[in-house]
């Protein structure tokens, strides 16, 4: 039986109940928790499951080495791989069949569960209230956005994207526009709106008043003029957000801003001379 109840689609619930029935008899484990969209009660048929498996220190390395075997006991496992690409090698990303379901398992020691939290997961099952006490006694901390860190890099990034545009590497420039939306514009816009800076996730729901600004940073097609306009709109949007946040100690890199924007304009002015 699931310890905490939030709305869950039936395929997800069935998977969780089958999984918990197996794990509650595994003496190597201390508990199981769930994070992600479950916490906000917004799970739907398109949601994945974000699960945290807390392991006794004695067994931790053995389970970590056999993660795919561990995951294969719950349903028909189609594919699984570890999360180095998102900076989290303790993560196992799984795709199951019957039903087709995406499930992420993060394997932690109890001490790591104390400290490695950006949100408070819901405990599904535990031994001796260990996870509940950890959540109660160790506050989570979501990493704040560092506007100075962004400002120090933003104008170098603009120069980089402009150079790709000038060379005619349009797909590279398109990818970089998406990078700037996810790493700069979306986090800043969410902070402006009093939201957690979770990139473009749920952007449409969380800050609908800014959607027009974001749409203007999208190039409608593989075309250098369209991409250049989207990049100029990205610059304009960033300046708006930077000014709106109005941090008194922010060091604006005015020289880099001037040089990179002038360089972009030079690239645009040269378009007509490029065959």
Integer angstrom CA distances of residue 59 from 50, 108, 129: 22, 11, 20
Joined tokens for residue 243: 């000014």
Closest CA to 119 of 102, 132, 135, 137: 135
- Judge whether 12 and 47 are in contact, CB under 8 Å: yes
- Give the H/E segment covering residue 176: helix 170-180
d(CA 158, CA 77): 43
pTM of the model: 0.85
Distance of CA 125 to the CA centre of its chain: 26
* Domains of the chain listed by start with CATH number: 10-137 (3.30.460.10), 147-273 (1.20.120.330)
Confidence (pLDDT) at 164: 97
For the stretch 166-214, pLDDT in tens is 999 999 999 999 999 999 999 999 999 999 998 998 999 999 999 999 9
Mean pLDDT along residues 243-269: 96
Q: What is the 3-state secondary structure (H, E, C) of 4-71?
A: CCCCCCHHHHHHHHHHHHHHCCCCCEEEEEEEHHHCCCCCCCCCCEEEEEEECHHHHHHHHHCHHHHH
CA end-to-end distance (rounded Å), the chain: 67
Angle at 246 between CA 242 and CA 247, to 5 degrees: 100
Least confident of 20-24, 85-89, 113-117, 128-132: 113-117
Confidence (pLDDT) at 57: 97
Percent of the chain with pLDDT over 70: 97
Closest CA to 127 of 45, 31, 43, 195: 31
Q: How confident is the model at residue 65 (pLDDT cuts 50, 70, 90)?
A: very high
User: pLDDT at residue 131 above 80?
Assistant: yes
Confidence (pLDDT) at 3: 52
Cβ-based neighbours of 108, under 8 Å, separated by 6 or more: 52, 53, 54, 55, 90, 116
For the stretch 23-63, pLDDT in tens is 999 999 999 999 988 988 889 999 999 999 999 999 999 99
Confidence (pLDDT) at 2: 57
Confidence (pLDDT) at 185: 98
User: pLDDT at residue 76 above 70?
Assistant: yes
Confidence (pLDDT) at 138: 86
Residue whose tokens read 């995951």: 71
DSSP 182: I
């Amino acid at each position: 039986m699931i310890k905490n109840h939030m709305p869950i689609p039936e395929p997800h619930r069935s998977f969780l109940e089958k999984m918990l029935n197996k794990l509650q008899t595994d003496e190597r484990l201390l508990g199981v928790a769930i994070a992600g969209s479950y916490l906000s009660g917004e799970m739907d048929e398109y949601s994945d499951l974000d699960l945290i498996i807390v392991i006794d220190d004695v067994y931790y390395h053995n389970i970590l080495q056999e993660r795919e075997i561990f995951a294969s006991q719950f349903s028909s496992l189609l594919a699984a791989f570890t999360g180095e690409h998102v900076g989290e090698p303790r993560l196992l990303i799984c795709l199951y069949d019957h039903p087709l379901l995406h499930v992420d398992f993060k394997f932690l020691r109890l001490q790591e569960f104390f400290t490695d939290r950006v949100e408070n997961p819901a405990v599904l099952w535990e031994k001796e209230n260990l996870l509940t006490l950890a959540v109660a006694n160790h506050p989570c901390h979501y990493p704040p956005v560092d506007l100075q860190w962004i400002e120090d890099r933003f104008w170098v990034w603009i120069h980089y994207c402009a150079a790709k545009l000038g060379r005619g590497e349009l797909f590279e420039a398109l990818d970089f526009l998406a990078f700037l939306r996810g790493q700069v514009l979306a986090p800043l816009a969410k902070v402006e709106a009093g939201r957690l800076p979770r990139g473009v996730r749920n952007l449409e729901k969380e800050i609908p008043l800014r959607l027009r600004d974001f749409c203007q940073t999208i190039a409608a097609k593989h075309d250098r003029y369209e991409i250049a306009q989207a990049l100029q709109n990205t610059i304009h949007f960033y300046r708006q957000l930077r000014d709106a946040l109005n941090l008194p100690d922010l060091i604006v890199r005015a020289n880099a801003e001037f040089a990179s924007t002038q360089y972009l304009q030079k690239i645009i002015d040269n378009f007509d001379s490029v065959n």
